Amino acid sequence: MAEPEFTATGVRIGKRLRSLTRAGQVRISDGRLELLTSYGSEIDSAPVQAVRASKPWFAHEDRALADVNGTRYLLTLGDHDPAPGEPGPPAARRFIEAVRNAAGRSTAERSH
């Protein structure tokens, strides 16, 4: 199994007004995005090219939206990247970039 392209732990994952986990995980690996509980159980997953990641208009810097299989999740990541070697989730901006980069890469791989 390849190294994950993006991993974030300690992520609050919510759906509408309901919190699903306060310390979840977000992982992009092998062309798939996975949303996991703090225990590692899958909340949802999808091929990364089918996922839409964006920044909510009127929200804090630490929030990102992820549309996965027709469900919109609100992810609360860090408002800035943690210092090297320090625990904590990376910035929401980095998550959005990782989804877009992984989607572009997997699309390019299929066309060759």
Mean pLDDT by runs of 10 across the 112 residues of the chain is 80 94 94 95 96 88 93 87 70 91 70 48
> Would you state the pLDDT for residue 111?
47
> Would you state the pLDDT for residue 88?
63
> Would you state the pLDDT for residue 51?
96
> Would you state the pLDDT for residue 78?
75
> Would you state the pLDDT for residue 57?
86
Burial class (CB in 10 A: 0-12, 13-18, 19+), 93: middle
Kindly report the pTM of this predicted structure. Answer: 0.83
Question: In terms of residues, how long is the chain?
Answer: 112
Residue 64, φ and ψ in degrees, nearest 5: -140, 150
C-alpha closest to that of 98 among 10, 11, 26: 26
**34-55 in b/e burial notation, b at 16+ Cβ within 10 A?**
bbbeeeeeebbbbebbebebee
> Would you state the pLDDT for residue 26?
95
